[in-house]
Amino acid sequence: MSFHFSMEKVLSVKQKEKESIEQELGEAVQAFESIAEEIYSLLKRKEDIENQSNYTFQQRIVVNDLQNTQRFLLSMTNKIKELQPLLQRARERMHVIQQRLLQQSIEVKKYEKLKERQLIAYRVEVASYESKQNDEFSVLRFAKS
């Protein structure tokens, strides 16, 4: 007589769903980090160009260079503005998936706790059964002697 959890398949499905959500979260985090790194690199480049432009402006004034720099900075600013909504959506998606993962973890924990309780009840039942058998054997031995 061995222990069999009646909802083992449900627990297994819930665990697979949880693993799937964890993988989805990993992908969402990766997408978020990718966009964030791109924005960071653009901001860093923009800052470096502005610093270089200010330095050049203090040294000498070349109108053509200044115009090119300003156009480039404007295009970088526009690119950053385009990426910020993508970053926000990626952040929101990541948050939604984290919430789903939390809910799924709770579901899995419920089934694991149920399994643990049933296992304890099974062990108590087996111990009681063995105790009754030992008592019967003792009574039979006593009756034979």
Q: Which residue has the tokens 């926000």?
A: 88
pTM for this model (two decimals): 0.67
Q: What is the pLDDT at residue 37?
A: 96
Question: Other CB atoms closer than 10 Å to residue 97's CB: what's the count?
Answer: 19
What share of the chain has pLDDT > 90, as a percent? Answer: 66
pLDDT at 94 over 90: yes
Distance (Å) of CA 18 to CA 6, 32, 116, 117, 143: 20, 21, 19, 22, 59
Average pLDDT in the 116-144 region?
89
Whole-angstrom distance, CA of residue 25 vs CA of residue 32: 10
Q: What is the pLDDT at residue 1?
A: 64
pLDDT at 129 over 70: yes
Q: What is the pLDDT at residue 61?
A: 65
Whole-angstrom distance, CA of residue 122 vs CA of residue 27: 41
Residues 55-74 pLDDT 10s: 777 777 667 777 888 898 99
